[in-house]
């Protein structure tokens, strides 16, 4: 499958057309941004790691009947995916308080929830991805009731699957962001990526952060953390 025209260049990936109108090629970059693009940098090797991790985890989720956009890994940084119309919602699942949740509600980072939370943000960089409830999503016509219920159900099932996966690797899944899209026939599938850019992952034993918070918060050892989380992932089936 050949890359055709560049359709979109985002903060972390480039998206290319292919000869097949139903398929796209995603190329992962080493560019990193935080705080809605205010902080910029490079994390060497990140694109390779995120590509491999996202594909591995999507294949894992497919095995528990979560439909995803994944088709085939083409190279270290490139993956063939099903083209979807992205539903402009950032679906955030949390097991433990951190980041914006801790700030917004004054809850200490690390506070464990009795059950997971699902939050929606309106995916709109110009507005800074504001929080949104299901009524807001309906009012903005981002999705209908049935789709929102399905997205929530998928998000919780993905959380169950990923928590178990990472537990087996000695890693605690704190929170993560998902994006869903519609195929041409309206089927909703998981799209975008699942990676240390979009998840908070803590070493269960030491509570060391093995994710993008090392970049956001200038904690150092960013590349090492990405390499370590990949190593843990690849130890899963070993």
Contacts to ligand UDP by CB under 6 A: 90, 92, 98-101, 129, 175-177, 198-200, 212
Kindly give the pairing relationship between strand 6-9 and strand 13-17: antiparallel
Residue (90 or 96) nearer to ligand ADP, CB:
90
**Does residue 46 touch ligand ADP according to CB under 6 A?**
no
Contact 197, 176 (CB under 8 A): no
- Say how many residues make up the chain: 238
- Backbone angles phi and psi of 92, in degrees to 5: -110, 125
Nearest residue relative to ligand UDP (C-beta): 99
What is the spatial distance between Cα 102 and Cα 105, in angstroms, rounded to a whole number? 6
Residue 140 interacts, among ligand UDP, ligand ADP, none and using kind-specific CB cut-offs from 5 to 8 Å, with: none
**Does residue 84 touch ligand ADP according to CB under 6 A?**
yes
Residue (20 or 127) nearer to ligand UDP, CB:
127
What is the spatial distance between Cα 77 and Cα 27, in angstroms, rounded to a whole number? 5
Residue (1 or 31) nearer to ligand UDP, CB:
31
In the chain, beta strands by DSSP E: 6-9, 13-17, 23-28, 31-34, 39-42, 70-73, 78-82, 85-86, 89-96, 112-122, 131-132, 171-182, 188-191, 199-203
Residue 99 interacts, among ligand ADP, ligand UDP, none and using kind-specific CB cut-offs from 5 to 8 Å, with: ligand UDP
**Does residue 86 touch ligand ADP according to CB under 6 A?**
yes
CB proximity list for 30: less than 8 A, separation 6 or greater: 42, 43, 44, 45, 46, 47
Kindly give the pairing relationship between strand 31-34 and strand 131-132: unpaired
Q: Which residues pair with 199 in a beta bridge?
A: 176
Among 12, 49, 53, 225, binds ligand ADP (CB under 6 A): 12
Site string for ligand ADP, 93-132 (x = CB under 6 A): ----------------------------------------
Site string for ligand ADP, 172-211 (x = CB under 6 A): -------x-x---------xx-------------------
Site for ligand ADP in 216-235 (CB under 6 A): none
Residues engaged in binding ligand ADP (CB under 6 A): 8, 10-13, 15, 24, 69, 81-84, 86, 179, 181, 191-192
């Amino acid at each position: 499958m050949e890359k055709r025209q560049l359709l979109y260049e985002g903060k972390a990936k480039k998206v290319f057309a292919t000869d097949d109108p139903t398929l796209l090629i995603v190329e992962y970059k080493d560019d990193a941004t935080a705080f809605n693009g205010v902080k910029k940098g490079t994390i060497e090797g990140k694109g390779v790691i995120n590509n491999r991790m996202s594909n591995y985890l999507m294949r894992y989720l497919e095995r528990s009947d979560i439909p995803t956009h994944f088709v085939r890994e083409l190279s270290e940084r490139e993956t063939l995916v099903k083209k979807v119309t992205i539903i402009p919602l950032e679906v955030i699942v949390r097991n433990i308080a951190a980041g914006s949740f801790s700030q917004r509600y004054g809850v200490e980072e690390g506070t464990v929830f009795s059950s997971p939370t699902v939050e929606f943000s309106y995916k709109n960089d110009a507005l800074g991805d504001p929080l949104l409830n299901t009524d807001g999503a309906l009012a903005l016509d981002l999705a209908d009731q049935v789709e929102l219920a399905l997205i929530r159900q998928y998000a919780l099932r993905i959380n169950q699957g990923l928590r178990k996966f990472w537990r087996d690797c000695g890693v605690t899944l704190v929170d993560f962001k998902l994006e869903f899209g519609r195929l041409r026939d309206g089927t909703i599938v998981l799209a975008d990526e699942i990676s240390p850019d979009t998840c908070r992952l803590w070493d269960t034993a030491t509570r060391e952060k093995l994710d993008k918070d090392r970049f956001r918060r200038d904690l150092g050892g960013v590349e090492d953390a990405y390499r370590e989380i990949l190593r843990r992932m690849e130890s899963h089936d070993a």
